Chain A
Amino acid sequence: MASAAAGQINTEELPSWGSRSVDCFEKLEQIGEGTYGQVFMARETRTGEIVALKKIRMDNEKEGFPITAIREIKILKRLHHENVVKLKEIVTSTGPEGDEQGNQDGNKSKGGIYMVFEYMDHDLTGLADRPGLRFTVPQIKCYMKQLLTGLHYCHVNQVLHRDIKGSNLLIDNEGKLKLADFGLARSFCSNHEGNLTNRVITLWYRPPELLLGATKYGPAVDIWSVGCIFAELLHGKPILQGRSEPDQLNKIFELCGSPDEINWPDVSKSPWYNNFKPTRTMKRRVREIFRHFDSHALDLLDQLLALDPNQRCTAKQALDAEYFWADPLPCDPKSLPKYESSHEFQTKKKKQQRRQTEEITKGSKSQHYHKHYRLPPIQHTGQAPPQWYGPNHPINDAQPPLSAGPSHHHYGKPHGPPGGPSRYPPGNQGGPYHLNRGGQVGGYSGGPYPPQGRAPPYAGSGMAAPSSRGAPGGYGVGPPNYSQTNQYGIPAAGRGVNIRNQQYGRQ
């Protein structure tokens, strides 16, 4: 057995049991903030392998080893799937005896525990937020397929993830997507009607049943989050950016219609139904608001975002959806472009820094030019498009598609090759940027969410390229508060996107 001598920490070999010291790793950079601690990129000194170290915060624990960490370890130790992040080992720093003070984080003598994960280059939010980056449709299909495959595996194994969101979906440079952060995950029994907490899932991705106080729920909660992510990928930004729980519900109702006993039997028995029931009847507008999505995407989205959890499709049903089997097919993950590492934590930090420098150099007023927001993919709406880009074929190499139908592919020129961030003009981060979006866990503690994380309001969004193209806008006809937060449906804004794209190329 390769265990270390008593009282010492093993810094050498992988022991057959027991754990090694964190000193086997060299911390390189902080890349995230998990449910209960920081995440670092680190190098294993002996092998040079790059890993992610997730520190389990112990300082504020009156009850010893945090139960969230226990859940995550328990669950990750029994889930083994290519779309679920792999827990490689657990390492400790200067054991609980605390004989030595080798902690850089200024913690007291308490020893730390780190979970060692395979390193993944990106998270979906970080990647999507890369300036100028635009996902292709086959790429989105590829990510969605992997997300659903991973989630299906969890659900089959009776694990609810309960915090599906972009920053918890890790992506490596092979195009592989993996579910991560199981800190809120739980096993569930389909027969055992357990009382679960409804304070889970980051607000923007939280399903209506949880907002209505359900404590008995199942895999459908994760599926709702998948629906939100799916629409976000196609739309270019989060679709339901509620500021508070009531506001979130309201936004859901405005999009999906108000619930009643017909579209959602027994909804009125939800614990908080009477507090939150909509004051007026609203009709479902998913297909109207997102009519710029292609019809298969819409069909799938409609099922993912079913108000009634019992009518929401399962991960398996979603994988069987026509969307994944129609052209353009999901691409091979390996065919995806490789990007420089990006995690939401880092992109956020960069943006903040950029904003700060900018605020110093410029006045604060001139900022709403060139605000950065995500670019939605090029999509063909409704009618059969004139040109499909084939599977495994980056859209950018395709011929510029002809404008057909209600024109959302006003996309003139092929992009340049992927380039570093330097290709993007510096500065220009005007929009409010809120730290507690994403990696932080404000969501399930009920803290209010910022109204807009990334997307600038309409007034500020890329109006530098005025155009009078008259395509009817999706959100434009929506309720007033929708038109605030969208760039779609305002053709001019859409043009702005394209012009910027031509200018800076895809990155």
Chain B
Amino acid sequence: MAANFWTSSHYKQLFDQEYVDVVLPLDKEKGITLEDFKLIKMHMASYISKLAQHVKVRQRVVATAVTYMRRVYTRKSMSEYDPRLVAPTCLYLASKAEESTVQAKLLVFYIRKIYSDEKYRYEIKDILEMEMKILEALDYYLVVYHPYRSLSQLLQDAGLNDISMTQLTWGVVNDTYKMDLALVHPPHLIALACIYIASVLREKDTTAWFEELRVDMNVVKNISMEILDFYENHRMIPDERFNAALNKLAFKP
């Protein structure tokens, strides 16, 4: 039997952190550092999220789109695949894959609204063309599992499913898409890490509950550390830093 996470392409496509952190040669030549690479992906995740709010699609579509974008950049260089085109196209493709189709022209309309910058301007045909390239880069694996589903079950099981905990954890899960976590860890462990963080913040004692789960708490704690690290270091990043990183790529001269 397939069609659960463990037999899915998603499971088979979990990568090592080192693999995800490889800056491809073409980008390296242009002076892109690992930090730049991460920043650009983070910025594009926010771009996708912003765009999604305008075209009104579910968080799940955003999560899938961001995962697509991150997967693409394990295989394709940013020099060849402009992030400013890849990001909206991933949202476009994810909206189809998640059954909440958004018209390409609507996306193009809101892209203009969000960014007046010429560098973000792309037409419908650019998106459609990039869609094919992305499909290929993804090897047509389009199913992505997310922590959201296990989240509500786990919260309920832990007896933490009050509104405040649910909202907090949900928000933390949303923030995990600003990192590469979804490419490296299975969704239920990410969900657990988010619950762990939220329970510490809200001073709920979940030790006993976590002990009963047969999971590697070290992994959960490592994921939690990574999330906390992100909150500490990347909460506020001035736009100039994104732009400086993006400018190294020098598209549309």
Which residues of A approach B to under 8 Å, CB–CB? 6, 17-19, 61-65, 67, 70, 73-74, 77-81, 90, 92, 95-96, 111, 113, 153, 156-159, 186-187
Contacts and interface: CB of A to CB of B under 8 A. Distances in A.
Nearest to B80: A6
Given A70-B97, A157-B2, A157-B3, A65 B135 contact: yes
A65 B131 CA distance: 7
Contacts of B140: 19, 73, 77, 90
A78 B3 contact: yes
B75 A70 contact: no
A17 B134 CA distance: 12
A96 B129 contact: yes
A500 to B, nearest CB: 46
Contacts of B1: 153, 156-157
A77 B129 contact: no
A79 B2 contact: yes
A19 B137 CA distance: 9
Given A17-B75, A64-B92, A65-B96, A80 B7 contact: yes
Closest 10 CB pairs of A and B: A157-B3, A64-B128, A96-B132, A17-B139, A80-B2, A64-B131, A78-B3, A74-B142, A67-B96, A70-B96
Given A17-B75, A157-B1, A78 B9 contact: yes
B102 to A, nearest CB: 9
Contacts of B132: 64-65, 92, 95-96, 111, 113
A77 to B, nearest CB: 6
Given A19-B139, A70-B96, A77 B9 contact: yes
A117 B195 CA distance: 43
Interface residues of B, number: 30
Given A17-B139, A73-B140, A92-B132, 5 more contacts: A17-B75, A70-B96, A78-B7, A78-B143, A96-B133
Interface of B: 1-3, 7-9, 75, 80, 92-93, 96-97, 99, 101, 103-104, 127-129, 131-133, 135-137, 139-143
10 contacts: A63-B101, A64-B128, A67-B101, A73-B140, A78-B7, A92-B132, A95-B132, A157-B1, A157-B3, A159-B3
A77 B141 contact: yes
Contacts, number: 74
Contacts of A111: 132
B142 A73 contact: yes
A317 to B, nearest CB: 19
A19 B140 CA distance: 9
B3 A79 contact: yes
A18 B139 contact: yes
A65 B75 contact: no
B202 to A, nearest CB: 28
B158 to A, nearest CB: 21
A63 B124 CA distance: 9
Nearest to B13: A17
A363 to B, nearest CB: 54
A79 B7 CA distance: 10
Contacts of A81: 2
Contacts of B80: 6
Contacts of A6: 80
A64 B104 CA distance: 9
Nearest to B102: A63
A74 B68 CA distance: 14
Contacts of B141: 77
A158 B2 CA distance: 11
B205 to A, nearest CB: 31
B137 A18 contact: yes
Q: Which of B96, B97, B104 has the most chain A CB within a 10 Å cutoff? A: B96
Given A77-B143, A78-B3, A63 B103 contact: yes
Nearest to A97: B129
B57 to A, nearest CB: 14
A77 B142 contact: yes
Contacts of B128: 61, 63-64
